[in-house]
Amino acid sequence: MAQAERVALITGAAGAIGGATAVHLARKNVVVALADSVATRGVAERVEAAGGRCRQFALNVTRRDEIDAVVAQTLEAWGRIDILVNVAGTVSFGSAADLAAAEWDRVLDINLKGTFQCCQAVMPAMKAQRFGRIVNLGSVLGKNGGNARPWLDPGEQRASGNVAYGVSKAGVHAITAYLARELAPYGTTVNAVAPGPVASAMTTNLSPSLTALIPVGRMGTPEDVAAVIGFLASDEAAFVTGEILDVNGGMWCD
């Protein structure tokens, strides 16, 4: 492996943001391990078309045994894991009043526990090599109490991410801050991106009235988010850690 080449493990690699991130990193001479619960063949083809190298792994992030197996196989294949990008997640819609306990558990199990378990699984390798970049996928919904304005239009609540999703992403933001401090002595940074609405399968039902609230006048693209992830995973971001970086076209500023 060339000295400049690094290794990234991307969960949720089959999705829009995960796939765009894989291609972006591949163009930066990063080898990528594509992990998802669904097939990543199409993303692998895009990575290879971009001149990159990759391997594909089946992964359910709620299963710690599967996470440990993917980490072990990635280390066996390339000897290190320099970058972890936690994109794997799920969305949930509707009001808090109608939210079932099983749905709450499902969303937090994937988005929050899954993210933490993946971080925890790569920590020993990053500590040992005294280098690492962890980038978690948060959300504007973990900050703003939701995009919906039910006092204006109750229908917005039905088509917007609900409290379980927002809580799970706020938890991801907290995990990011805690791990940034814990891993700083080991040359490892931990950051998150907090996207606003991004054109993808998760946002096909987003109300046009909510899209109209984005100051730059459009929804984000997966490539918009991937570029920011790529920066946080780079050497240029070595002094950035514990940051929750908004990528939302100006719809939320803090």
Our CA angle for 56, 58, 60, nearest 5°, is 140
Q: Which of 10, 123, 165, 171 is catalytic?
A: 165
Residues pairing with 36 in the sheet: 58
For helices 16-26 and 41-49, the axis angle rounded to 10 degrees is 30
SS3 192: strand
Q: Is 218 exposed, middle or buried (0-12, 13-18, 19+ CB in 10 A)?
A: exposed
Please, which residues have CB within 8 angstroms of residue 152's CB and are 6 or more apart in sequence? none
Asked if 87 and 71 count as a contact pair (C-beta separation under 8 A), the reply is: no
Active site residue 178: no
How would DSSP label each residue in 96-139?
STT--HHHHHHHHIIIIIHHHHHHHHHHHHHHHHT-EEEEEE--
Alpha carbon of 219 to those of 17, 59, 126, 151, 239: distances in Å? 13, 29, 35, 23, 30
Q: How far is CA 122 from CA 112, 137, 146, in A?
A: 16, 16, 32
Pairing verdict, β 6-11 and 83-86: parallel
> String of b and e for 66-76 (b: at least 16 CB within 10 Å)?
bbeebbeebbe
Active site residue ranges: 165
